[in-house]
Structure formats: C-alpha cells, structure tokens
C-alpha cells in the first residue's frame, strides 16, 4: 500500500463539501462499512467501496476522492443511506462533489469518461449487462421500478432488459425476489445468445 503524504490532505476541500451539503452531516460516519454492504456495485466493480470514499472526503483527500471509481459509478439508488446507522446521505455527498468537479483542469482517467454522458447524468457503463431468466420471472415490476435508466420492460408476461440501456449496475439482480436476473459480461451474454440459437436449430 502506498503511503499517504501530508500534502495529500486539503481541509478546505472537506469544508467546501460540508458547506454544499448544509443539512447533511457526513462527519457522523462511524466507518462501520454498512454502506459498502448495501451497495449493489461493490461486488461488480473492483476497488468500489463507499466507506473508503467517505474517509477520503473526511480527510480532505481531494485528488483521491475524484479518482475513486465510486464517485462516477454511484447511481444515487441510496441503498447505502438506508443501511447507514447514522443516516449519512452518501448520494447527496457524491452529488455535491460532482458539482465541484472542474472538468477542464483535472486531467487523467476522469477525462477518458464520455463527457456527453457525464454531463447528462447518465451512468458510465460497467461493461456488464443484466439477463432475465423468463422461467423464473414473475413480472412483479421490481426491476422496472428500481432501474435508474429504465432498461427493463415487461413483455409477454416477463421482464426484458434492453442491453443498450443497461449499465450493469446490478440493482435489479440484487432486488429480484425470484433471483431471475443475473449480471454478465457482454462476451458471456453473446455466448448465451449463441447457445440459445443453436439449441433451436434442427437437422
């Protein structure tokens, strides 16, 4: 692990975030990790940890906070806030820091993100996509209600997820009561589709 230097800390950054949040006190964080346990992205994106992100903000680690994957993959579902025993509104924290981002001056990995999608508040893709097992789907509308990009729709009595709209966040898979949804890589999905086609062929 790389050592953190004193020059990495910027108390003014922390104070500016606190001013933007106003009614929300993110310093109440106990570092318990319940937010990470509740986040649907944690198992899908490497180094994705809301708890560590909050610590970076509290310590004033501005550059580290902006470079954290959590900053840009968070979709404001607020599962983390529901799990937090101190009711820290992490989604509001992320939103306030995003509003402070100087897109013209901060270089590096962040500029590689699609600027149009970022500006329109669309989620960056994880490279994953959700797939529904129609034999298990009860058409309960849970996925339709929870999806932040409206990728699932009900068709012929079962949910169908648009792979173009789907960002692979995994919320639908985590909340589906029948466990009818899995999140796959695009390559895996392509192979599954090929298997389905081959199974339907007859000689």
> Are 108 and 144 in the same domain?
no
Could you tell me if residue 1 is inside a domain? no
pLDDT in tens, 93-127: 888 888 777 655 554 444 454 444 443 344 555 67
Containing structural domain, residue 78: 6-119
- The residue out of 74, 93, 119 marking a domain boundary is 119
Residue 93 is assigned to a structural domain of this protein: yes
Model confidence pLDDT, tens digit, residues 63-96: 888 888 788 778 778 888 888 998 888 888 888 8
Are 83 and 32 in contact by the 8 Å Cβ rule? The answer is no
Asked if 15 and 114 sit in the same domain, the reply is yes
Count CA atoms closer than 13 A to 119's CA, side-chain side.
7
Residues 135 and 109 in one domain: no
Q: What is the CATH number of the domain that holds 135?
A: 3.30.70.20
Q: How far apart are CA 44 and CA 24, in angstroms?
A: 28
Backbone angles phi, psi at 120, to 5 degrees: -90, 10
- CATH number of the domain where residue 84 is located: 1.10.1060.10
What are residue 92's phi and psi, to 5 degrees? -65, -35
- Same domain membership, residue 101 and residue 161: no
Between CA 62 and CA 70, with CA 67 as vertex, the angle to 5 degrees is: 105
């Amino acid at each position: 692990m790389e050592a953190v230097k004193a020059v990495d800390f910027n108390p003014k950054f922390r104070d500016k975030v606190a001013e933007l949040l106003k009614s929300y006190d993110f310093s109440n964080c106990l570092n318990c990790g319940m937010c990470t346990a509740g986040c649907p992205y944690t198992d899908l994106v490497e180094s994705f940890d809301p708890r560590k992100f909050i610590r970076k903000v509290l310590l004033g680690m501005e550059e580290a906070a902006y470079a954290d994957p959590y900053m840009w993959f968070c979709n404001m579902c607020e599962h983390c806030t529901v799990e937090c025993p101190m009711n820290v509104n992490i989604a509001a924290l992320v939103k306030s820091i995003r509003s402070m981002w100087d897109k013209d001056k901060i270089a590096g990995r962040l500029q590689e993100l699609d600027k149009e999608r970022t500006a329109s508040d669309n989620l960056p893709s994880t490279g994953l996509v959700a797939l529904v097992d129609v034999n298990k789907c009860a058409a309960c509308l849970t996925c339709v209600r929870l999806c932040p990009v409206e990728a699932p729709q009900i068709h012929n009595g079962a949910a169908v997820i648009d792979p173009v709209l789907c960002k692979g966040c995994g919320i639908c898979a985590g909340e589906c009561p029948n466990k009818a949804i899995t999140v796959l890589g695009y390559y895996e999905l392509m192979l599954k589709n090929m298997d389905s086609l081959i199974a339907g062929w007859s000689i």
